[in-house]
Structure 1
Amino acid sequence: MNITVELDGRRLDLANMLEISLPIDFSMSKERAWYIGPPRREPVRLGDWVGSTREGGSVNFYNLTINPHAHGTHIETAGHIDHTYTVSPSVGLLFFKAFLYTASAGESGALSFSELWPSIPSDVQAIVIRTLPNTHDKAHKSYSNTHPPYIMAADAERLARKGIFILLIDLPSVDPERDNGALAAHRSFWEHQLPHSPKPALIGEFLYIPHTVPDGPYALHIQHPAMNTDAVPARIFLIPYL
């Protein structure tokens, strides 16, 4: 069986799609971000019965304790900053027109987008931001108290006004680690969405994009569980064009 998928007339190379998300790893022994300990997986115990075959139970039957923001790749809606927002993380489409851009930060910690603006196509729907340095240990790094780079509110606004409604980054947040709750880039990106943009606009964080993947246009595919909350874990794929 051969399946051909086109996005606005461009064929997708599905055989070489690349996952750029980090799983929630229940074997982790340290925190990932936001001063929260690792995720927990604990067997259900009902009297003498235990939901663990390792402990002699008939099946594995676990309770999971996770924080999507702190434990792995996730997507979030405006419900992250506004309790009145109708939370639904549904992405709506199977594939999006995306652009991968590698950014570095200046002394202030803000990421520079000076090389992005003249190169990004006008019809892009999603931006994937890979930050420098981009060593392999980024996939396992603990970010608490490290003050990673961030996006300035003005750049988040400019992305939104270009028609981008999916903003993805390989760091725990698009905002500074400590900003007294301002979340300026989050708010700016959501507040300046164009009227015709598909809803909800999404921000995704905690990705990992290998350094061997070149900047440029791709298709993007997002998978997530059917959960209605401000943020959910996600699997995210970059797909090259043929």
Structure 2
Amino acid sequence: MKIEIQHLSSAYEVDLDEPIDLSLALENDSSLGAWYLDPPKIEAVRSPEFIGEVSEGSPVNFRNIHFNPHAHTTHTESLAHISTEDIPVNGIFSKFHFIALLLSFTPKMDGQGNQIIFGSDYDLKRILDSGAEALIIRTIPNESDKKLKNYSHANPPYLDLEFVKSIRDLGIDHLLIDLPSIDAEEDGGLLLGHHAFWGFPNKLRPHASISEFIFVRNEVEDGLYWMNLVPANIKNDAAISRPILYRLNPK
């Protein structure tokens, strides 16, 4: 199935039969994780009268899933992640399709051993000129072990605060990254990047979202895409999500 969309002064064709999935699977005992939590568990319901496992004689598989969206898989967050505002992530979206810009960045090491992602003037101009509503950040190197890595105590890369402010000021409402957080693992609970992106506390942006723990394959080129972003309908500050990209083919 193909659709045609208009963006700025250009027309594009989108092939809906060629999706690019940016999400990571939630699996039982997966090594993928962060924030010092145990692995997720997917286990059969067990009681004296019933075992929810076909391999043990049940007519159906009937399993509980125990996980944390922030720590175990691709997820999308709302302003409620850092505030007492009653703005759950399942209520912030008035639409689910966006023009998204994918850019790749190589973090730079500072004098304290931190890897920081900076945006150059060229990067900011690309964001401005794109007219994108969403920015997708892929970090380099981009090895497949990102899909299985445990980031706890690893001090992973994070976004420069001024870069986050620029992203916000350029009109990006939805920020996606292939790391467990846009902020440093250990920052004393400041979460400066989250605060800046959501304009907290004085200039709140309740419609904005941050998605973390995505993965963008190497063969997916930097540039503009049509994106579908839908968090699970869970009333919480964060929910699992499955961002999907589609190539924009000029007409």
TM exceeding 0.5: yes
Aligned to 2:185: 177
Kindly indicate whether residue 136 of structure 2 is the aligned counterpart of residue 128 of structure 1. yes
Aligned to 2:98: 96
Cα distance in 1 for partners of 2:149, 2:60 equals 33
Cα distance in 2 for partners of 1:234, 1:190 equals 19
Cα distance in 1 for partners of 2:191, 2:161 equals 9
Aligned to 1:187: 195
Unaligned runs of 5+ in 2: none
- The two structures, once aligned, show a CA RMSD in angstroms of 2.1
Deviation at 1:89, TM superposition (A): 2.9
Deviation at 1:192, TM superposition (A): 7.1
1:116 aligned residue (111, 116, 123): 123
Helix, strand or coil: the match of 2:159? Answer: coil
Contact 2:130–2:224 (8 Å) recurs in 1: no
Cα distance in 2 for partners of 1:86, 1:212 equals 36
Which residue identity is paired with 1:111? I
Q: 1:31 to 1:170 in 2, by over 3 A?
A: closer
Percentage of pairs with the same residue: 33
Aligned to 2:232: 225
2:147 aligned residue (113, 136, 139): 139
Deviation at 1:150, TM superposition (A): 0.5
Aligned to 1:50: 51
Cα distance in 2 for partners of 1:190, 1:227 equals 20
Contact 1:100–1:129 (8 Å) recurs in 2: yes
Alignment of 1:1-242 (within 5 A): 2-8=1-7, 9-28=11-30, 30=31, 32-90=33-91, 91-108=93-110, 109-114=115-120, 115-120=122-127, 121-191=129-199, 199-242=206-249
Contact 2:2–2:15 (8 Å) recurs in 1: no
Deviation at 1:5, TM superposition (A): 4.1
- Runs of 4+ that moved beyond 3 A: none
Helix, strand or coil: the match of 1:117? Answer: helix
Q: Deviation string for 1:18-56 (max 9, x for gaps)?
A: 00111111252x351111111111222232321111222
TM-score by structure 1 length?
Answer: 0.91
Q: Deviation string for 1:191-229 (max 9, x for gaps)?
A: 079x897x5210000011111211111111113321110
Cα distance in 2 for partners of 1:217, 1:80 equals 28
Which residue identity is paired with 1:4? I
Cα distance in 1 for partners of 2:49, 2:16 equals 49
Helix, strand or coil: the match of 2:165? Answer: helix
Kindly tell me the number of residue pairs found equivalent between the two proteins: 238
Contact 1:34–1:144 (8 Å) recurs in 2: yes
